[in-house]
Amino acid sequence: MQRFKKILIANRGEIALRVIRAARELGLRTVAVHSTADESALHVKFADESVCIGPPAAKQSYLHIPAIISAAEITGADAIHPGYGLLSENAGFAEVCERAGLVFIGPRPEHMRLMGDKVEARTTMAAYGLPVLPGTGILRSDEEALAAVEQIGLPVIIKATAGGGGRGMKIVHDRDRLLTQLHTARAEALAGFGNDGVFIERYVDAPRHIEVQVIGDGQGTVIALGERECSIQRRHQKLVEEAPSPALSPAERAALLDMVAKAISSVSYRSVGTCEFLFERQADGTPRFYFMEMNPRIQVEHTVTEMVSGVDLVRQQILLAQGEPLPVEYLRQRMNPQGHAIEVRINAEDPVTFAPSPGRITALHLPGGLGVRLDTHIYQGYVVPPNYDSLLAKLIVYGEDRATAVARLRRALGECVVEGIKTNVDFHRRLVDHEDFLRARLDTRFVERILH
């Protein structure tokens, strides 16, 4: 077992602070890397050491692998935590870390490659018992796409095999538009991920989006810690998440977690990860889950699982990377959710158009009180740069039940003041008063209903 002394965080913003906090509680020193745009960021201020790795553009700093490895070597770091986004799912980066004598705090490169290819992941998980929607492999020609639609039927969805965030994703209702949408999807995928591979699967209109948190030791033991409801999205980007899902009964939850744990243990997965599903309930009440993908990293919304389970997921990541055994009994005791947690993502964007809104924060008051957690990197006077993701903060509330959590969320949003830039706080205030939200009538078309 290799005990770390110092961890470099190859990320920025709130997730960099989140890792710093977990490391500090474990008695580890931390190294922050930053671009010139982030020299006054909180993760730089709170880390034990910091290294500037380049100019504002992410490709020249946070995605520049040689600069990150050099920063780790000159500071004497033992390991690198990638956070989420950026290099967190880059198998090549994980391999470079290993060759440099650094531990990559995350899954093995082969698992990252497997899960990074949605077609291969679908095929593998289906072989291990997870249900998937009717679909294709990577499409090699227009003729293959046309034939697939004839077999699957409309509507269908075109998806990029790599990446995420809605890029390279097109819904097709009209056969005459199939090839136009296919070519657009390929172009978006190539521009976004350097890979123009796409595939087709049957489109489910207005499903729920439910994901399962897993933790594995790399030797075949996997715990499915719980599920999260992530149905409230805009353009395939999550805005609100909660745990547990209000759609599932205890028996349905147990069956889902058991199914996922068995499938993921079959590939001897190590570290934390998330399996994402579309969910619909048939007319006779039968639940139907369809595996979409697995994210081999910590998720933005890991916080709600932490709140209802009491498990520090980032701490578990670090301990597993050190080679410590998976605390199986401890985790099993926390599989049944206690209470209810909801997270809303507060972004620097116009609440109506959702256009980015960088700039200086001139006044700031963040909510607090019983059952309120704020994961954020902003402060009064902070300049939100235009170069990165618009996430400013994650507001997480906890209550003994969903109604209490919703009331606490409404109160916390009322206390939230961010001036100098636009944010989506007003959008969340409207959302939390919507009858469908209050009744937990959620699906991936929820935001469309609110905006119209």
Specify the residue for token string 């109506």.
352
Which of 81, 55, 79 has the alpha carbon at shortest distance from 67? 55
Question: Above 70 in pLDDT, residue 38?
Answer: yes
Give 155's Cβ-side CA count (13 Å radius): 13
Q: At what angle do helices 13-25 and 313-321 cross, to 10 degrees?
A: 70
Q: What is the pLDDT of residues 373-400, one digit of tens each?
A: 999 999 999 999 999 999 999 999 999 9
Q: What pLDDT was estimated at residue 354? A: 85
Distance of CA 398 to the CA centre of its chain: 20
Where along the chain do its domains lie? 6-105, 134-202, 208-451
**Residue from 12, 29, 297, 408 carrying the catalytic annotation:** 297
CATH number of 6-105: 3.40.50.20
Mean pLDDT of the chain: 94
**Fold match between 6-105 and 208-451?**
no
pLDDT band at 452 (very low <50, low <70, confident <90, very high): low
Q: What pLDDT was estimated at residue 7? A: 98
Answer yes or no: 297 catalytic: yes
Question: pTM higher than 0.85 for the full model?
Answer: yes
Q: What is the pLDDT of residues 144-158, one digit of tens each?
A: 999 989 999 999 999
Average confidence (pLDDT) over 38-53: 97
Burial class, 380, CB count within 10 angstroms (exposed 0-12 / middle 13-18 / buried 19+): middle
Indicate the CATH number of 208-451 among 3.40.640.10, 3.40.50.10490, 3.30.470.20, 1.10.1740.10: 3.30.470.20
pLDDT band at 189 (very low <50, low <70, confident <90, very high): confident
Question: Above 70 in pLDDT, residue 1?
Answer: no
Indicate the CATH number of 134-202 among 1.10.3720.10, 3.40.50.300, 3.30.1490.20, 3.40.470.10: 3.30.1490.20
The C-alpha atoms of residue 196 and residue 168 are separated, in whole angstroms, by: 8
Q: What pLDDT was estimated at residue 116? A: 86
